[in-house]
Amino acid sequence: MRDTIARQSDVDKSSMKYEVEPGSGDYRIGTITFFAKKGKSIDLEKIHESIKGTRLSGKTRSAVNYLEIIVEGAVVEVDKKLLLRVTGTAHEFGLGDDPKAKPTEGTKTAMQRLREALAKGEKVVTVTGRVEGWSGPWPMVLRELPGAPTKGTKEDKPSSKKTALLIVTDFQMAKE
């Protein structure tokens, strides 16, 4: 898997790290961490297609727990929904709250805090979150991703596709 990701032209190969969780046994549960090359934006659709080309199937007993990304961009509200427009690209993500998130009394979810910051006029510059659709056994994950262009089209993000959802886990505001 990490070799497939490292072959991407927008991935900084020197940033690749694979850490296996201690005591994970035969299943080798681990985390792959990587960053974009300076001045580049990682194309999740290209990574998805590259992984799909490895022909991972249900027989591998492998899965992805989640794909967490940090995105630089501008948060805008369109039809009462928040969108994150990725800096330097035509890509955008819908922003949402984890439906399973149950904040403890007196605390708020990251998405609730993000909405409050925007209501105060603060400018959000990065959002960290988990990409919807990137969890589960490989056959399920390797289906067509929301927001991915249809083969043979030149459009970056066709309007007929659903915008990919980023479940917000953190965010950073612009420093004044």
CA of 112: how far to CAs of 63, 89, 122, 169, in Å? 30, 26, 14, 10
Highest mean pLDDT among 44-58, 61-75, 108-122, 135-149 belongs to 108-122
Segment (H or E) for 44: helix 44-52
Identify the pLDDT of residue 152.
52
Q: What is the pLDDT of residue 93?
A: 94
Q: Compare 2 and 112 and report the one with higher pLDDT.
A: 112
Pick the residue with more confidence: 152 or 78?
Answer: 78
Residues across the chain: 176
Over residues 66-120, the pLDDT tens digits come to 889 999 999 999 998 999 999 988 889 999 998 887 888 889 999 999 999 999 9
Output the pLDDT for position 157: 42
In the chain the domains, ranked by start, together with CATH numbers, are 62-135+149-173 (2.40.50)
Distance of alpha carbon 165 from alpha carbon 100, whole angstroms:
15
- Confidence band of 12 (pLDDT split at 50, 70, 90): confident
- Contact status, residue 68 vs residue 169, Cβ threshold 8 Å: yes
Residue 8 DSSP one-character state: S
Residue pair 118/171 in contact (Cβ under 8 Å)? The answer is no
Task: State what percent of residues in the chain have pLDDT above 90.
Answer: 31
For every residue of 95-122, which 3-state class applies, written as one string?
EECCCCCCCCCCCCCHHHHHHHHHHCCC
Average pLDDT over residues 36-55: 82
- According to the 3-state scheme, what is the secondary structure of 48-75? HHHHHCCCCCHHHCCEECCCEEEEEEEE
pLDDT value at position 144?
A: 67
